Amino acid sequence: MKITLIGYMGSGKTTIGKMLSKKLDLDFYDLDVLFEKKYDSILNIFKKKGELFFRNREHYLLKKILKQKNKYVLSVGGGTPCFYNNIYLLNKYSNTFYLKANGYTLFKRLFLEKNTRPLISHLSKNELFIFIIKHLSKRSNFYDKSLGKINTYGKSKNDIVQEIMKSIKW
């Protein structure tokens, strides 16, 4: 079984994915890391080639990794399920979990880490909050198609890992 984590930027996909893979003794992949190994930093790619180029290469990388035969935990980027038919591919080839977090929690986390994320790096504090609320509402339509959902509000990283482990249908 492949387990994939989806959700908005800052929802904990990379962090929780790594922890979960260790608990389950599975390989861990992060789609952004795979992308940056193959191409360039996501910040540079957005700057030099634009978002559409990123989404196209991201889609092909996702297809390639989903068709691998081994079991693993994969954390994707916040936008991955929202482009091409990626959410259908994710659900077809893996057990998808949506790490659901509220706008204010995401804002607090992303304000501290916005410089590494090209979609929000240029925004002021006020702009960032408004952007997250609107963007999350649009993207939730895709995230809500996941096979499993974990409400992360007020939960520690360890609690979230435990909850995913309990929900896995092997």
Ligand X SMILES: Nc1ncnc2c1ncn2[C@@H]1O[C@H](COP(=O)(O)OP(=O)(O)O)[C@@H](O)[C@H]1O
Region of 97 on the Ramachandran plot (φ > 0 left; ψ -120 to 50 alpha; else beta): beta
Nearer to Mg ion, 37 or 166 (CB): 37
**Considering beta carbons, is residue 34 or 126 the nearer one to Mg ion?**
34
- 10 is known to lie in a ligand binding site: yes
- Cβ contacts of residue 97 below 8 Å, gap of 6+? 3, 4, 5, 6, 146, 147, 148, 149, 150, 164, 167
Please tell me what DSSP assigns to residue 120: T
| Contacts with 112 (C-beta within 8 Å, 6 or more apart), sequence order | none
In the stretch 1-40, what mask flags binding to Mg ion with x, by CB under 5 A? ------------xx--------------------------
11 marked as part of a ligand binding site: yes
13 binds ligand S3P (CB under 6 A): yes
Q: Looking at beta carbons only, is 10 or 81 nearer to ligand X?
A: 10
**CA atoms of 84 and 18, how far apart (whole Å):** 26
Residue ranges binding ligand X (CB under 6 A): 7, 9-15, 75, 78, 109, 152, 155-157, 160
139 labeled binding residue: yes
Residues at the site binding ligand S3P, with contacts judged by CB under 6 A = 9, 13-14, 32, 42, 77-79, 117-119
